[in-house]
Structure 1
Amino acid sequence: MMSGMTEGDQVAVLGVRVRLGGNATADDVRALKTWLEREEPLEALLTGRQLRIDEQSGTDGTPGRLGPDLELVLTILGDVVTVAALTEYTARAVKTWRNNRSRLQGGDPEPQIRSLGPDGE
């Protein structure tokens, strides 16, 4: 007997959520996405279709937030990388981007990086 997914079945979503706080702009979010797409080993995972990076509206509705309510979600599409490894790769890339941005533009977008659980949160 074959088992398959039926409508309403939950699919585990594993990955990493990156949110920029403080004085971040929509341009900052897009610049960080571009940076992540070009950063090894994330670029290799994207090329191999084992990773997807999406820009989406924030999920927590942070009160008093002045900047855009946007975040990046890096979703694991294969079993080539663990959430822990993806979190480490992402944290390193975000730190480099943040240092570069601070040096060139000043200010600090206060990135928050957290792993997604099986429910996508």
Structure 2
Amino acid sequence: MMSGMTEGDEVAVLGVRVRLGAGATVDDVRALKTWLEREEPLEELLSGRHLRIEERTGTDGTRGRLGPDLELVLRIIGDVVTVAALTEYTARAVKTWTNNRRRLQGGDPDPQIRPLDPDGE
């Protein structure tokens, strides 16, 4: 147990959530995950085990959603990067991926990027 913490204390989960819009497919979510894993500086954070990218079922329960109910969660492990920096890195990578996808496949996956709540949701 870390000093200064008592049993039952919760540790804030830091990171960002990436969710694609209704026009996206499950393949789009997985392709974006692969893209993020190879994008600098995210790749460096992953290889140093300071970041984890998880594919999760969406938690907001959007009614009438036509696309996949999947999202990507980039969780910071340790204190080597801030949420603001991670959000910037992620936004830049997602923008590049979105532009490539639009050029090759058409359509707009309408990505949304936002920081995680302190409880990881």
Aligned-partner SS, 1:110: coil
**What is the deviation of 1:5?**
4.9
How many equivalent residue pairs?
119
**Counterpart in the other structure of 1:74:** 74
In 1, Cα distance between equivalents of 2:92 and 2:4: 40
TM-score, normalised by the number of residues in structure 1: 0.93
**What is the deviation of 1:4?**
5.3
Percentage of matched positions with identical amino acids: 81
Change (3 A) 1:9 1:67: same
In 1, Cα distance between equivalents of 2:12 and 2:47: 22
In 2, Cα distance between equivalents of 1:10 and 1:4: 9
**Counterpart in the other structure of 2:10:** 10
Which stretch of structure 1 is more off in the superposition, 31-40 or 109-118?
109-118
In 1, Cα distance between equivalents of 2:4 and 2:112: 39
**Counterpart in the other structure of 1:53:** 53
After the TM superposition, list the runs of 4 or more consecutive aligned residues in structure 1 that deviate by more than 2 angstroms.
2-6
* RMSD over equivalenced CA pairs, Å: 1.3
**Counterpart in the other structure of 2:87:** 87
